[in-house]
Structure 1
């Protein structure tokens, strides 16, 4: 099925947004890597290095567990899961966990090794944050598209009901003019006031900028009321509906 121009525009804008987000986060990660490598010094004989590695190991393990829970209960609700390859993120967390475990066991005295441990923690963290942001952005875009489609559907249904109701009201007025017994029936059964009020309310809905489900249900009720009155009017002997209206009904059946 060929995409419309609006769909192509939305798809292109969504892709541009994802690319921009990726490059921004990649730039931030690169700046952090350069800062840790050239601006920060880690003493090789510091007593808190093992505690830092233990904290990074625990944090990596915990974040991986939360990420797997997110894949199971949140991301699985969408087929593309935010258009991010989650296997890469899982492998990155596993690599970081193994590296931190290696540093805890080996107890190396090299600041570059510990800087690498910090960078290996920040890398999967950035990928995880990017995945969550991408997923939430895709979810919000899908929700907006769904809301727009629903609003368009309500609007189309409302205008169709107003159009058909106006035609039915016009046919009832024609029958009232041509057949006095129809007007007598409407007034005797106290249908006349409600008929005029419903017809006026349906016309007033033309000024509505955004229709809701309740508006469509109200218009449906008004339309079916007018249809029932027309059906009652046509039950009188000798009454014939207009040719144009009969032609409309033959097409709607």
Structure 2
């Protein structure tokens, strides 16, 4: 954009001729003045509603763009109240309109680019966080399942209790489903919620098993709770 703006400046200065006695020069300046004022107003609205959420986004300080627009407005106002007939002055007025316009467009482009990069970074951090939570749930669920299995082996009445209450099949299915999530490449929030539900079921089932008469709580599970 900087190269394009430089080419436009050179084109206006050396390739385009503006008649000094043209009757439309004042109308052109009035149009440039109105357009500059309007674009500055829209830019300030953009700062208020859009840029306020990400004040550090964008490659250009917004104060610089505001000052440039104000300078362009004052220059156009000066040409409106004066009777200068120098074509270079009117070329400068056009350039002073295109300059802030290019800066504004560039600021918007870099702003939305930075916002998109920040959003992608936040999404990556969220994905990594959900992945850590999911693997932690799988690990804890495996420990709880192992403890329930040990209790079933040492105390046959625990397995009888699980089968009598239709918990045995659900226990095995939940434990298998949690292990299958080790093959998932990217976790969604619903996956983490499902794993959490499975883990809470296994943990509650272990608590229920330990409440069975004659069952002594294992040292492994006591250390994990501590």
- TM-score normalized by structure 1? 0.84
Matches of 1:198 and 1:137, distance apart in 2: 43
1:164 is matched with which residue? 140
Q: State whether structure 2 residue 93 is matched by structure 1 residue 129.
A: no
1:115 is matched with which residue? 91
1:120-155 per-position Cα deviation (integer Å, ceiling 9, x unaligned)? 001111111122122112211111111111101100
SS, match of residue 173 in structure 2: helix
Matches of 1:204 and 1:218, distance apart in 2: 12
2:63 is matched with which residue? 87
Structure 1 contact 171–241 (Cα < 8 Å) conserved: no
Structure 1 contact 100–117 (Cα < 8 Å) conserved: yes
Structure 1 contact 198–222 (Cα < 8 Å) conserved: yes
Matches of 2:131 and 2:213, distance apart in 1: 39
Structure 1 counterpart of 2:164, from 157, 165, 188: 188
Q: State whether structure 2 residue 28 is matched by structure 1 residue 52.
A: yes
Structure 1 counterpart of 2:45, from 63, 69, 91: 69
1:220-242 per-position Cα deviation (integer Å, ceiling 9, x unaligned)? 10000000111111112222344
Question: Offset at 1:194?
Answer: 0.8
Matches of 1:86 and 1:180, distance apart in 2: 74
1:27 is matched with which residue? 3
1:209 is matched with which residue? 185
Question: Offset at 1:165?
Answer: 0.3
Q: State whether structure 2 residue 17 is matched by structure 1 residue 41.
A: yes
Matches of 1:211 and 1:60, distance apart in 2: 49
Matches of 2:120 and 2:178, distance apart in 1: 28
Matches of 1:81 and 1:168, distance apart in 2: 47
- TM-score normalized by structure 2? 0.94
Structure 1 contact 50–104 (Cα < 8 Å) conserved: yes
2:206 is matched with which residue? 230
Structure 1 contact 151–211 (Cα < 8 Å) conserved: yes
Matches of 1:76 and 1:34, distance apart in 2: 36
SS, match of residue 80 in structure 1: coil
Matches of 1:52 and 1:74, distance apart in 2: 31
Matches of 1:119 and 1:113, distance apart in 2: 10
SS, match of residue 74 in structure 1: helix
Unpaired runs of 5+ in structure 1?
Answer: 1-24
Unpaired runs of 5+ in structure 2?
Answer: none
- The answer to which of 189-198 and 44-53 deviates more is 44-53
RMSD of the alignment, in Å? 1.5
